[in-house]
Amino acid sequence: MRKSISIISMSLLAGSLMIPCGRAYADNPPGNHRQREELRKDERQLEQLRQRRNQELREGDRREAREYNEKIRDQQREVRRDRRDIYGHDRDRGYDRDRWHRDRDHDRDRDHDHHD
């Protein structure tokens, strides 16, 4: 009973987090219908793989769980690729790589100023 409640809770949480994102594009969503459907399909597959992996862990089959982890990583890459195709950048990262380099360089410059 507890397991099914946690799966339902996670599904509801995932759904509630995705709804606000969709509202921003309610009038004119990015990408075409095929791209958006592919993304939804890949996200469903990813969730199913996570559930299967968790089931294997509960049953104590770590080898199967590791195999599911590999499949999950592959599916995550597919979801990111789909999102890039639709939105034009990698929304999953949440942090611009160029910005990271600028911040890192800025921190280095600041550290050198303090040590001189």
Where in the chain are the domains? 33-115
Of 18 and 34, the structure prediction assigns the larger pLDDT to 34
User: What tens digit of pLDDT does each residue of 102-115 get?
Assistant: 555 555 555 555 55
Alpha carbons 49 and 53: distance in angstroms, whole number: 6
Half-sphere exposure for 45 (CA within 13 Å, toward CB) = 15
| pLDDT tens per residue, range 44-95 | 999 999 999 999 999 999 999 999 999 999 999 999 999 999 888 755 555 4
- Give CA 69 to chain center in angstroms: 14
* Distance separating alpha carbons of residues 44 and 9, to the nearest angstrom: 16
The Cα 72–Cα 68 span in angstroms is 6
Asked if 75 contacts 49 with a C-beta cutoff of 8 angstroms, the reply is: yes
Phi, psi of 91 (to 5 degrees): -75, -20
Number of C-beta neighbours around residue 104 at 10 A: 10
The mean pLDDT value of the chain amounts to 76
Q: What is the pLDDT of residue 65?
A: 94
